[in-house]
Structure 1
Amino acid sequence: MTTTTTLSADQVAERVATTFDGLFATIDDWRDGLQAHLEADAGPTAASLDPVVEAGAVSALAADGLITGSGFVAAPGLLSDAHWHLAWWLGGDAGIRRLATIDDPSNEQFRDYTTLEWWRFPARTGTRHLTGPYVDYVCTDDYTVTITTPVSVGGTLLGVVGMDVLVDRLERELLPLLRAAGVPIAIVNASGRVVTATDPRREPGSMLRLEGLDAALAPLRGPVPSAMSGRLPGGAEVIACGDTSLALVVGP
């Protein structure tokens, strides 16, 4: 006999938060290790820093099936041998490999990463940030969520450490939880963009446009996401998933 476990929407929100808490804990460990290394290195170089980044990134890629990319992105000018530097590793069926990057501003394919959301928000707020879902044309060419957190010493931003998580992997992990509630549910980011949903018409990356949703999600857009819940005029309930900056939209 098969037993079906029914979860309340609040329980689903807690379990979604738990899934991301594990990713946040990993990235916080990387940040602490890199900060300690940079505090002790008066003249950091790509040659000295990359092995430290690689050790943490490769270990995480091998151990956690949700993570598809990870590494460190240096603040411009931090490293004496590389003004622009992105040290990033990718996992996949072919194994783990380093991402090839273009760090020469004179190259027409060069991209200033300090203009991108996953850099801008941590640089501005000093706190971690969840970007996406978006199509990551730099690394995966697929819908991705990127989590980044700043690496700072003495109040000076030295770069960001981060990880990529493919949305299809998140769906495999989270959709069973959503379906266990027995009601329509979507996970959205602080801007109302869908991460995954039980309704196939609500595709990852699309904007969920419901009356009152933008205002309901506003507490999640601060430097520290605030707990929130509420009901929209159309009857849907909005429940924060811990401090992940994600929320459930439940029903109607």
Structure 2
Amino acid sequence: METPMEALERTATILSSSINGLFTDLEKIADAVTAVANAAPEAPRRSEFLFLKQELADFIKLNSDLINGAGIAYATGSLPETPHWLEWWRGQPKGGPRFVTHDLNPDSLSYYDYTTREWFTLPASTGQPVAVGPYVDLGGINVNIITLCVPAPTPQGTHVLGCDLTLAKLERVFLRALQLREPAVILLGPNGRVITSNNARIATGTLLLEEDAQRVAASLDVSAGHPSRLPWKLISLHDKARIGS
């Protein structure tokens, strides 16, 4: 019979493989962005990056079982036409992805300043890919998401490409991989927030309770080979009755 730790190890392998596959595909697109910028004799205009619409559409369609959108956020002042520019596309049940409009006017009450968001600042400042969240996507669809983001360094600054995973889609992958009802197992983000679990009491998006933190029986990094870009842990809990005996 499989032990709980063996179930955690199997689940970590499946999650890591799935998410790192997304990172790999995003990095290929980011490399193309960097190549275009490096080849341009001067700061490239938005028209030089029109190929991204199809690249991102293909990426979203190929990975629709995990993600619901993807896009690029340009470094401040990198485009001649505008100081800021964000292109994000949302997958649709039918047809191609839909462009998501963001208010980029600093004087507007609904201004979306992506340059202050962690999903932009972390890869732009560190030059490393990272998974950010879970958090509520107030600038898009107002649901709990995780954003995978990778840097695209250019002479004009570092652009950031990313994709959004809704927690509902990630939860399905987690439960299929885990195949356990007991013990309670939690996929935990670096901010102590529950990404998902196999226990209805431990709700997605909530902070791990102190009483649960004291019941941790086993802990495992989801991606030991890439802990900085995928800083998630799988933890299993002791049964309450066992703790009290």
The answer to whether TM tops 0.5 is yes
What are the ranges of 5 or more consecutive residues in structure 2 without an aligned counterpart? Answer: 239-245
User: Residue 174 of structure 1 aligns to which amino acid in structure 2?
Assistant: F
Contact 1:90 1:97 in 2 (8 A): yes
Give the aligned partner of residue 202 of structure 1.
Answer: 202
Question: Matches of residues 14-33 of structure 1 in structure 2 within 5 Å?
Answer: 14-33=13-32
Q: Deviations over 1:190-236 (max 9, x none)?
A: 122111100111111111134796xxxxxxxxxxxxxxxxxxx5342
Distance 1:201 1:38 in 2: 49
**Secondary structure at 2:208's aligned position in 1?**
coil
Residues 211 and 234, structure 1, Cα contact 8 Å, conserved in 2: yes
Quote the residue 1:57 is aligned against: 56
Structure 1 position 123 matched with structure 2 position 124: yes
- TM-score normalised to the size of structure 2? 0.85
Native 8 Å contact 2:124 2:158 kept in 1: no
Structure 1, residues 155-205: CA drift from partner, whole Å, max 9, x if none?
x63310110111111111211222348421110111221111001111111
Match of 1:176?
Answer: 176
CA distance, structure 2, for counterparts of residue 120 and residue 35 of structure 1? 18
**Where does residue 137 of structure 2 map in the other structure?**
136
- List aligned pairs for 1:1-252, cutoff 5 A: 7-41=6-40, 42-49=42-49, 51-65=50-64, 66-95=66-95, 96-153=97-154, 157-180=157-180, 182-210=182-210, 234-242=215-223, 243=226, 244-252=230-238
CA distance in 1, matches of 2:174, 2:79: 39
**2:242 corresponds to which residue?**
none
Q: Provide the rounded CA distance (Å) in 1 between the counterparts of 2:157 and 2:208.
A: 34
CA–CA separation in structure 2 for the residues paired with 1:200 and 1:91:
29
- Native 8 Å contact 1:183 1:250 kept in 2: yes
What is the rounded CA distance, in whole Å, between the counterparts of 1:121 and 1:249 in structure 2?
A: 26
Q: Contact 2:38 / 2:154 at 8 angstroms: preserved in 1?
A: yes
Unpaired runs of at least 5, structure 1: 214-232
Q: % of aligned pairs identical?
A: 25
Contact 1:184-1:199 within 8 A present in 2 as well: yes
Which amino acid is the alignment partner of residue 134 of structure 2?
A: P
Residues 1:5 and 1:236: Cα distance change in structure 2 (over 3 Å): closer
Over the residues paired in the alignment, what is the CA RMSD in angstroms? Answer: 2.3
CA contact (8 A) 2:10 2:177 kept: no
Contact map agreement 2:30 2:161 (CA 8 A) in 1? yes
Decide whether aligned partners of structure 1 residues 210 and 18 sit closer, same or farther in structure 2, where only a CA change above 3 A counts: farther
Show CA shifts across 1:69-98 (max 9, x none): 111100110000121100111112254111
Give the superposition deviation at 1:45. 1.4
User: What SS does the corresponding residue of 1:186 show, helix, strand or coil?
Assistant: strand
Cα distance, 1:212–1:179 mapped onto 2, change above 3 Å: closer
Measured after TM superposition, the shift of residue 145 of structure 1 is 0.8
Where 2:148 maps in the other structure, the secondary structure is strand
Give 1:218's aligned residue: none
Contact conserved, 1:190 with 1:246, CA < 8 A, in 2?
yes
CA displacement at 1:111 relative to structure 2: 2.2
